Structure 1
């Protein structure tokens, strides 16, 4: 989809699966990550994504800028540009990972996160 075909009040999402396959969908800034998961599940690209099919919409999770989005977060709250394409990853996952308490403490202190005496979790 070229930029001229994206309505000025919508956001074009290019969703990337773990397999690397992509598909684009157009959403409103008021749509939440949960709304997007339901829409994608209901409009699953059968021809392209057959092997990645999931059993229900609730396990589809969006990742934006390296972070899982909670289902209530809207595209508008993320400050995504209207009339443009934004890339997100779409992964099947039952539950969101717990935030790393060490990272949260470091961010609140204004320090940088590093591996030291705390255990690291690579997703």
Structure 2
């Protein structure tokens, strides 16, 4: 706990260069990192420092490779992770900046861990029972 009673959360850093505090997009122009708090439905939190020019997929890869100790067991596949900001799922190919993530240090992004990755859901074959089941219903009042 901090002196003000707030819980202290360790911060992990994602950089596009070898530096631990800044990334460089052009010579002499260091890029600032923003601190993003990931929040699970269960209430667990983890903080990551990230360049807003990073793509969502690279941020998810960093989360997956540096899985926080206070989170539940890491899922088996990277595509089980979904990031949600302001009620919208973030597109893997977009940058954090393109998703309008602010340049502040108090941004919260929700991390949704799917039990079955999206790719596996597309191949689900309906059972024979669903073929013979009635497709409609009536409500009599």
Aligned pair count reads 90
Q: Which has the higher contact order (CA 8 A, sep 6+)?
A: 1
Q: Distance in 1 between matches of 2:92 and 2:44?
A: 23
Structure ranking higher in strand proportion: 2
Q: Which moved more, 1:27-36 or 1:74-83?
A: 74-83
Q: How far does residue 85 in structure 1 lie from its aligned partner after superposition?
A: 2.4
Residue 28 (1) aligns with residue 69 (2): no
Aligned-residue RMSD, C-alpha: 2.3
TM-score (norm 2): 0.56
Residue 76 (1) aligns with residue 97 (2): yes
Per-residue CA deviations over 1:77-108 (Å, capped at 9, x if unaligned) read 12333242210100123239xxxxxxxxxxxx
Q: Which has the larger radius of gyration?
A: 2
Give the unaligned 5+ runs of structure 1.
97-123
Give the unaligned 5+ runs of structure 2.
1-8, 10-20, 23-30, 120-141
Q: Distance in 2 between matches of 1:52 and 1:18?
A: 14
